[in-house]
């Protein structure tokens, strides 16, 4: 199949060039806004093999995907995950893929940062919501702060560019964001703030956690000079430059200002389910056509049909009247 940059166009004229792949729904943390503490994970037999994930990713790359992000759960807890990264790196060498990257909680980076860099990964996102070790343990339930710091140091040594992703949570880390900003920029890392999203049943009340980033930006502007810039990484963040630090700060605002009009992304789960929108339940099964034949004709047809159903946007709501999550699946199922 000949790769064309425009072979996946959705009903609203958006070219789909970015695939996010959840390689596992499992995680070694249990972040309170993401998972229940007592999670039931998929049986291993339901997961696509690493070879099947490679074949699926390759089919999307042949259809025009230029950016591929591995997510989870925690992608680096998937057994033999570096085999998949190494296989996918051939598309960087051929020029078919512009970027191979991943989002991680940092717990396994001390083990894998060097190998990721060797495979052509240039930058990674690390999810980190606080610099206070006690609060870190509280929000991750099982996380080890020191291990994440060691992972960040390993990433730095390996030459990986790191962006810190922090979910802004009212009454938990909102007062800490200025210090996190100075810390990240002092280490040459960008920081992106994310609004919490109503996905999956969790043990906490999201109305108590939810902090609009418009409010967070106003709070930050009392201390910092924030200038809007057109910088883009291919994802949904809108960026500002921080005058006092010289670094970049991103805002991902699925609640207060959705970014659907420019959405170029689809998400693939570790069972071969394709979600055309993070905030909608509509999905396509790609596992069946993948396994139905050795060729990719059925798979290509299924992908085309799914892209033809990509919705215009999502309808997330968090308020006192809306007690149920907008989407029943947890974020770890779809991939961050």
72 is in an annotated binding site: no
260 is in an annotated binding site: yes
163 is in an annotated binding site: yes
Gap between the Cα atoms of 303 and 215, Å rounded: 39
CA atoms within 13 A on the CB side of 242: 26
Crossing angle of the two packed helices 109-118 and 145-158, in degrees rounded to 10: 20
What are the helix (H) ranges across the chain?
50-62, 81-88, 90-94, 109-118, 133-140, 145-158, 177-186, 206-209, 213-220, 287-292, 297-307, 331-334
103 is in an annotated binding site: yes
- Cβ neighbours of 268 (radius 10 Å): 27
Whether the Cβ atoms of residue 162 and residue 122 lie closer than 8 Å to each other:
no
227 is in an annotated binding site: no
27 is in an annotated binding site: yes
266 is in an annotated binding site: yes
Whether the Cβ atoms of residue 33 and residue 169 lie closer than 8 Å to each other:
yes
57 is in an annotated binding site: no
Crossing angle of the two packed helices 297-307 and 50-62, in degrees rounded to 10: 60
277 is in an annotated binding site: yes
Give binding residues for [4Fe-4S] cluster as ranges: 27, 31, 34, 260, 263, 277
Give binding residues as ranges: 20, 27, 31, 33-34, 69, 73, 103, 127, 163, 197, 260, 263, 265-267, 277
Give binding residues for S-adenosyl-L-methionine as ranges: 33, 73, 127, 197
Give binding residues for GTP as ranges: 20, 69, 103, 163, 265-267
């Amino acid at each position: 199949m000949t790769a064309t940059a425009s072979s996946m166009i959705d009903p609203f004229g958006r070219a789909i060039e970015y695939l996010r792949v959840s390689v596992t729904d499992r995680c070694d943390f249990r972040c309170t806004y993401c998972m229940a503490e007592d999670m039931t994970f998929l049986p291993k037999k339901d997961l696509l093999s690493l070879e099947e994930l490679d074949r699926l990713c390759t089919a999307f790359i042949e259809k025009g995907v230029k950016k591929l992000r591995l997510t989870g759960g925690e992608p680096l807890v998937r057994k033999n995950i570096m085999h998949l990264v190494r296989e996918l790196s051939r598309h960087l060498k051929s020029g078919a893929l512009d970027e191979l990257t991943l989002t991680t909680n940092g717990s396994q980076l001390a083990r894998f940062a060097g190998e990721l860099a060797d495979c052509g990964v240039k930058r990674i996102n690390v999810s980190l919501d606080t610099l206070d070790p006690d609060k870190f343990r509280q929000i991750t339930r099982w996380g080890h702060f020191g291990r994440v710091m060691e992972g960040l140091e390993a990433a730095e040594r390996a030459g990986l560019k790191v962006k810190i992703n922090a979910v802004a949570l009212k009454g938990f880390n909102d007062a800490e964001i200025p210090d996190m900003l100075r810390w990240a920029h002092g280490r040459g890392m960008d920081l992106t703030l994310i609004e919490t999203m109503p996905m999956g049943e969790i043990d906490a009340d999201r109305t108590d956690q939810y902090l609009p980033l418009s409010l967070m930006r106003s709070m930050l502007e009392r201390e910092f000079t924030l200038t809007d810039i057109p910088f883009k990484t291919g994802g949904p963040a809108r960026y500002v430059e921080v005058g006092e630090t010289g670094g970049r700060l991103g805002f991902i605002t699925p609640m207060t200002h959705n970014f659907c009009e420019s959405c170029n992304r689809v998400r693939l789960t570790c069972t071969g389910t394709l979600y055309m929108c993070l905030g909608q339940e509509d999905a396509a099964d790609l596992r069946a056509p993948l396994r139905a034949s050795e060729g990719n004709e059925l798979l290509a047809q299924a992908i085309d049909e799914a892209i033809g159903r990509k919705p215009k946007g999502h309808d997330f709501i968090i308020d006192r009247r809306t007690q149920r999550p907008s989407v029943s699946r947890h974020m770890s199922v779809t991939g961050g």
